[in-house]
Amino acid sequence: MRTQLAAAATSDITIDGSDKAIVIAVAVVALIALAIAFALRAGVLAADKGTAKMQEISEAVQEGAAAYLARMFKTLSVFVVVVFGLLFLLPGEASERIGRSVFFLVGALFSASIGYLGMWLATRANVRVAAAANTTGREEAMKIAFRTGGTVGLATTGLGLLGAAVVVLGYGSSAPKILEGFGFGAAMLAMFMRVGGGIFTKAADVGADLVGKVEQGIPEDDPRNAATIADNVGDNVGDCAGMAADLFESYAVTLVASLILGSAAFGTKGLIFPLIVPAIGVLTAIIGVYITKARAGEPGLKAINRSFYISAVISAVLCGVASFVYLPTTFAGLGLSPEKLQELGVSDAANPALIAIVAVVIGIVLAAVILWLTGYFTDTNFKPTKDIGEASSTGPATVILAGISLGMESAVYTAMVIGAAVYGAFLLSGSLIVGLFAIALAGCGLLTTVGVIVAMDTFGPVSDNAQGVAEMSGEVSEEGALILTELDAVGNTTKAITKGIAIATAVLAATALFGSYSDAIRNALAEAGDVAGDATGFVVAVVSPNVLVGALLGAAVVFMFAGLAINAVSRAAGAVVFEVRRQFREIPGIMEGTTKPEYGKVVDIVTRDSLRELTTPGLLAVLAPITVGFGLGVGPLAGFLAGTIVTGTLMAVFLSNSGGAWDNAKKLVEDGNHGGKGSSAHEATIIGDTVGDPFKDTAGPAMNPLIKVMNLVSLLIAPAVVALSVGDSANTFLRILVALLAFAVIVVAVVISKKRASVLHNV
């Protein structure tokens, strides 16, 4: 039998005609978002493509990016098929297991589609932005770059919302269980794309910088550097494809957590309201994309931030209206059974509509604060990044130390802000389950801005690529080059900002999923008949040594994952260094510009190495929760998740902000400060930027899907762990065997990874 909470939640959910009409309307809004994304795409493609030389360079980038993603999807299809089969083996009703597995595929397909769209359009927008900067001016160049991101942003919100709406329409009260598969599919693909794309882009970038800038003293996008095309390809497969998929899975997983907890806290209305909030976000994202215009003489970042804040305010107002129109002002008005109301333990004064809107506003405010805070620590106009620029006058060591210090400090402030948002949402109700739902709604509130967030993120690599196309072609005027340099610097900051917001989203979603995990354990204990084993109230004692061990293991996995990702970049970059040095040494005429380098060989190297290197981190993320859960039990697994969330949050902010600040400090020097290009200060900041590359674009952003993948795996395996631990189906031997097998696979994967010979040595 189930717990009273679970039973009440199921019996209180009936989607009648009016609620079904709302869900259909949400699906229609999702389709509108996709239609407008298509219109924006057409507008971008209609722009001037520039000169024949510029088009040739852009087409080389397109070819490399498409080839990489094709090979990646072929590799990942094996993982998808295996997991699809394993999901059938988990406990549950047959219809739920089938639906969960099928929508796992749908989530994976949507995540891959968003990633591919981001890459496909960005590789075609780069030349158009360069051409606009050269002929039309800054405003048009910025408009094309931002609307490229807007296309991907609206596609992200449209597909995420459409998937959730279809599941709710098709499965009703069973929708939360089915959506676990949808969220897991999106998260798993995003993690692999984020890690693989991050390894690709930073291996090429680091290799290009070490040989081109440091050894040969040539500019970043000089066509004589054999790694230049691979570097530009990497911007798209890492920052566009990887980050777009990452933000899509954040969107999907937050919806999953909201619908699971909402159905338990508010019944039917709790299942519908989390769909209404992001639907409003779609409408405000459309407004945000279309109003983003840089005024004459106005910094580009100011124009983008203004659009973000306007969108956020509109979202807050509309969500407030929706809350008080759709939700009642008393819990009695939710139509819940007396048993359910008693189980929730809410006070008589509690107001569901007020709780919902305050929670949503907390999420929106959190996004705005993170935007400002991340911008402060990474933008060239503020003191932290300027301090790193000043540190360059005393050499690379002080640049590295200043960047690490900045990252650590910024992680503290960001964690405090996110923690305040989580705790503030939780305090809105005296009920545990309602408080967790409020946290999930805060995540939904934050995601009302996701359309603009994705636009901001994609703006960065498109601008970076445009500058690369301009420099490699040599056919952009001095004024056009200055415009592209400015947009590239703005893009560095917007990328850092979106990484910060993605981290906040990951924490809110993971915290809500943590609550869903507890509920899953309570249900599983009750079904196993273990009333004495706390079937009606699963509680983990933090002071218990085994739980603390679990927390320690969760923190350790974060460090191991980050280390594997950074080391993978190091090895792959070493191979690039080898190849670029070989070409400079063995192919005559490269430095004189009379012979074209063999760009394709470097693209092949980073493609091969990135796909090979992503396997170990991926296996670690999926199998670590299985090892802890089946090996140590549900209590230590809860500790494991807590350790992962806390450590992953701090690690992600530290790595992302350090890397972003190092990058912009280099641009400060290149703009003529502290000696300018070619000075010792410039060389020091190049080294800092090179160290920061895998920090900000590989290991740091990969923390977001890592946290959610491990939470979703834990949520999915929780019933199986309980079933093998208590009741008539208890089987200690099988449980330990599963844990040992999972652990053995992790060990083998790590050992193989460590045995790969490092090529970072002098030749």
Contact 721, 629 (CB under 8 A): yes
- d(CA 761, CA 210) in angstroms, rounded, equals 12
Residue 763 has what pLDDT? 40
Neighbours of 592 (CB within 10 A): 8
Contact 721, 636 (CB under 8 A): no
- CA pseudo-torsion sign 475, 46, 308, 192: negative
Highest averaged pLDDT of the listed ranges 48-62, 209-223, 273-287:
273-287
Confidence band of 529 (pLDDT split at 50, 70, 90): low
- d(CA 578, CA 383) in angstroms, rounded, equals 38
Interior CA angle at 344 toward 343 and 349, to 5°? Answer: 130
- d(CA 284, CA 539) in angstroms, rounded, equals 40
pLDDT tens digit sequence for 437-492: 999 899 889 888 888 888 888 888 888 888 888 888 888 888 888 888 888 878 87
pLDDT for residue 759 is more than 70? no
Buried b (16+ CB within 10 A) or exposed e, 691-705: bbbbbbbbbbbbbbb
- d(CA 499, CA 1) in angstroms, rounded, equals 43
Residue 543 has what pLDDT? 60
Residue 758 has what pLDDT? 45
Q: Which residue has the higher pLDDT, 213 or 36?
A: 36
Confidence band of 41 (pLDDT split at 50, 70, 90): very high
Interior CA angle at 25 toward 24 and 27, to 5°? Answer: 65
H or E segment to which residue 450 belongs: helix 450-473
pLDDT tens digit sequence for 576-609: 888 888 888 888 888 887 888 888 888 888 888 8
- Coil vs helix vs strand at 93: coil
Residue 32 has what pLDDT? 94
Under DSSP, the state recorded for 364 is H
Residue 530, Cβ density class (10 Å: 0-12 exposed, 13-18 middle, ≥19 buried): middle
pLDDT for residue 751 is more than 90? no
Give the length of the chain.
763
- Torsion region of 47: left, alpha or beta (phi above 0 gives left; psi -120 to 50 gives alpha): beta
Q: What is the pTM of this model?
A: 0.84
pLDDT tens digit sequence for 63-89: 888 888 888 888 888 888 888 888 887
613 Cβ contact partners less than 8 Å away, ≥ 6 residues apart: 196, 199, 568, 571, 572, 753
Residue 6 has what pLDDT? 41
CA distances from 256 to 167, 399, 413 (A): 11, 42, 28
Q: How far is CA 267 from the centre of its chain?
A: 30
Q: Which residue has the higher pLDDT, 515 or 658?
A: 658
**Which string of DSSP letters, residue by residue, matches 95-162?**
HHHHHHHHHHHHHHHHHHHHHHHHHHHHHHHHHHHHHHHHHT-HHHHHHHHHHHHHHHHHHHHHHHHH
- d(CA 736, CA 725) in angstroms, rounded, equals 10
Mean pLDDT taken over the chain: 84
Q: Which of 179-183, 517-521, 543-547, 668-672 has the lowest mean pLDDT?
A: 517-521
Q: Which of 34-38, 44-48, 464-468, 648-652 has the lowest mean pLDDT?
A: 464-468
Confidence band of 542 (pLDDT split at 50, 70, 90): low
CA distances from 327 to 272, 282, 353, 363 (A): 10, 21, 5, 19
**Which string of DSSP letters, residue by residue, matches 290-325?**
HH--PPTT--HHHHHHHHHHHHHHHHHHHHHHHHHH
Residue 1 has what pLDDT? 33
pLDDT, mean of residues 291-297: 79
Q: Which residue has the higher pLDDT, 664 or 727?
A: 664
Confidence band of 761 (pLDDT split at 50, 70, 90): very low
pLDDT, mean of residues 740-754: 89
- d(CA 686, CA 690) in angstroms, rounded, equals 6
pLDDT for residue 389 is more than 70? yes
pLDDT tens digit sequence for 115-127: 888 888 988 998 9
- d(CA 431, CA 416) in angstroms, rounded, equals 23
Residue 618 has what pLDDT? 83
pLDDT, mean of residues 630-637: 89
pLDDT tens digit sequence for 86-110: 888 777 777 888 888 899 999 999 9
**Which string of DSSP letters, residue by residue, matches 521-563?**
HHHHHHHTT-STTTTT-----TTSHHHHHHHHHHHHHHHHHHH
Percent of the chain predicted with pLDDT > 70: 94
pLDDT for residue 530 is more than 60? no
pLDDT for residue 536 is more than 50? no
Of the candidates 27, 464, 121, 40, the residue with the CA atom closest to the CA atom of residue 288:
40
Contact 144, 132 (CB under 8 A): yes
Contact 209, 686 (CB under 8 A): yes
- d(CA 702, CA 431) in angstroms, rounded, equals 33
